[in-house]
Chains A and B, each alone.
Chain A
Amino acid sequence: MSDPLVEARSLSISVGERKLLDDLSFSVEDGSSLAVLGPNGAGKTTLLRCLLRIHTRWTGQINILGRELRGLRQRQLARRMAYVPQLEGRHFPFSVREFVAMSRYPHRDAFGGSTAGDKKAVDRALALADVERLADSPMEILSGGERQEVLIAAALAQEARILLLDEPTAFLDYRHSVRIHDILATIRAETGTTTILVTHDLNEALAVATVALALRDGRRVFHGPVSGLLDPAVPAEIFGVDFEVIHRGDNAPPLLVPGRPS
C-alpha cells in the first residue's frame, strides 16, 4: 500500500481552556473518500481549518502527500489540496467562469496571463460539476444549489489530488443534495480525487464515503470503514442518540434513523 495522502499525528489545538482538537491521529489513503462526522462543536470545522492553515497554532504533525504541512508554501499546498467552503454569508461579484478561473491562482505567477492549460482546466471543471450551462451567468443570480455546484467546480479547477468539502449539502434540499452526491461520485470515478467531506449526516457518509472519522469533543471516537457505522453502538456514541438501522434493497445503503437520546 502506498503512503497515505493525508496523515495527522497527535493533532491538538485549544482556544483558552477549551480543547478544540485533542490528540487526534488519522490517515487518508489515496483514492478513498473520508467522511468527518460528529455533532456540532465536535471539532470538524476546526480540523478543516488546520488542514487549510487558517488555524496555525496547533501542535502535532500533519503530512500532506508526504510533505510536512508546516514546510509547504501556501501555493504548494493549494496545488495539492482544494477546498469547497460553506456557502452562507458570501458575496460573489463575478461570473461563474471568472470565479472558477480564479482558482488557477496557485498555477500561475504574478505577471502571467491565463494559459491554454488554465482554460482547459476550467472547462473540465465546469463539465465535471455539470455547470457548463451556467458558465456565463453572474454568481449572484444562481440558486443556493447551483452556487454549491459552482464552488465544487471552482475547487476542481485547482487540479489538486485532495478535495476538502465543508458540509456541502447542509443548506440544500433533497434534490440538490442528491445532485451533489452524484457529482462527487463522478469526480472520484473520473479523476481519482481523494475527498474529505465534513458532515453531521450519517446517511450522507454512508452514501458518499468509504471511510469515516468521527469526533466528539475534539477526540476521535471512530475511525474505520463506513460499514462500521451500522453497529448502532457507534453512532450512539458519536451523537449521544440511539439509532435504528433500516435495511433497504440490495443496491441502496442502509439508513440510520435517530431515536431517543441515549
Chain B
Amino acid sequence: MGLSKHPVKVLLGLSLLAVAAVMTAPFFGGFALPFSVIWGDATRMESLVFWQMRVPQVMVAFLAGAGLSVSGMAFQAMFRNPLATPFTLGVASGASLGAALYLRAGLHLNLPGIPGVSVAAFLGAFAAIVLVYSLTTGRRKLSGASILLAGVAVSFCCSSLLLFVQYISRVGHSIRIMHWLMGGMQVFGYADVFNVLPFVLSGAAVLLYYRHELNLLVVGDDIAASRGVAVGRVKLILFLATSFTVAGVVAVCGPIGFVGMMMPHIARLIIGSDHRVLTPASLLSGGIFLVLCDRLARTVVPPSDIPVGVVTALLGGPFFLWLLIRRGAGGEA
C-alpha cells in the first residue's frame, strides 16, 4: 500500500535529496573535480568541464528522468496497468522512429524554440499512442494484457522500421542515428537543457492540473465519468501531454528505458497513490534516479562513458521481473 502518513514530509525529503543530487553530481565523472571549482580556484580546464559539460549534463539527466517517470505514472493510471510505460505502449519507439526519420532525411528545420527533431519525435510518439489507444476503445475493444501486447507489437514495428531506416541511411546519418539511439547523454550543452525543459515543464504542469482526474481514472473510467470527469477529453489531453514530454526527452537523450516504469512504482511505494503528491514525487524520484545512473555510467569505466540506458536497464530489468512475479503471486502492484 505505502500510504504515507506524512506525504508532505516525504515530498520535502525528496526535494532536499534532489537538490543534493543535482549539486554534488557535477563533481563526479570520469575524474573527480575539487569543490573549489565553484569559486573559480581551479584550472581553466577543470572549470570548463564543470560549468560547460557536467552541470548541463546533470540538468538534462534530471529533466529527462523526471519527464520519463511522470509519463510512466500517467500511463499506469490511465491504463490501470502497472506495466504500462512509454516503452511498453510503443510511445518511446514511436518517438525514436520519428526522430530517426528526421535524422535520416538530414533535415534541419527548427521551429522557434523547438528543434525539428523534437517535433518529429512528438509526431511519432503521438501516432503510436493514438494507435494503441484506439485499439483499446474501438468497437472490438482490447483490455488489460491485450493493450500491452498491442503496445509491444507497435513498439517492435517501430524498432524494426527504425533499423530499416538506419540500414538504408548513408554512413554519416547512420552514425548519428546510432549514437542517439544508444540512450546516452554524451555531450550536453545548455542548448540541450533548454530543448528538454519546455517539454518536461508543460507535461508536468498538465499532469499536476489533472491530479484529481488521474485519481478517479485509477479506479475506473465509469467511476470517473459518474463523478463528473469528461473522460474522453481528459484522456486525450493527458495522452497529448505525456507523448509531448516523452518526445521532448527522447529527441534529446534517445530512448532511455525503465525509468518510466520503475520510478513511479518506487514513488508509489514511498508516498502512496494519491496523484496530488504522487505526481511531484514521481518527478523528483525520476530525476534523482537518472542523475545517479548518468553519473554511474560515466564513472565506472573511465574514460569511456557507458550509455546511461545500459545502467537503467541493468537496474530496471530485475525490478521488472520482481514486479511481474509479485503480480503473478497474487499481489497487486
Contacts and interface: CB of A to CB of B under 8 A. Distances in A.
Interface of A: 15-16, 49, 52-54, 73-79, 81-83, 85, 90-95, 98-99, 102-103, 105-106, 108, 110, 138, 140, 155, 158, 164
Given A74-B228, A93-B1, A140 B222 contact: no
Interface residues of B, number: 27
B330 to A, nearest CB: 12
A85 B3 contact: no
Contacts of B225: 52-54, 74
Interface string B202-240: 000000010011011011111101111111000000000
B332 A77 contact: no
B80 A105 contact: no
A16 B223 CA distance: 26
B222 A52 contact: yes
B218 to A, nearest CB: 7
A83 B223 contact: yes
Given A75-B228, A91-B332, A106-B227, A85 B220 contact: yes
A105 B272 contact: no
Which of B213, B223, B229, B230 has its CB near the most chain A CB atoms (within 10 A)? B223
A77 B228 contact: yes
B274 interface: yes
Contacts, number: 77
Contact of B227 (A49, A95, A103): A103
B226 A85 contact: yes
Contacts of A105: 212-213, 216, 227-229
Q: Which 6 A-B pairs have the closest CB atoms?
A: A78-B228, A106-B228, A83-B226, A93-B273, A75-B228, A74-B230
Which of A52, A91, A155 has its CB near the most chain B CB atoms (within 10 A)? A91
A232 B219 CA distance: 41
Given A15-B139, A54-B225, A95 B230 contact: no
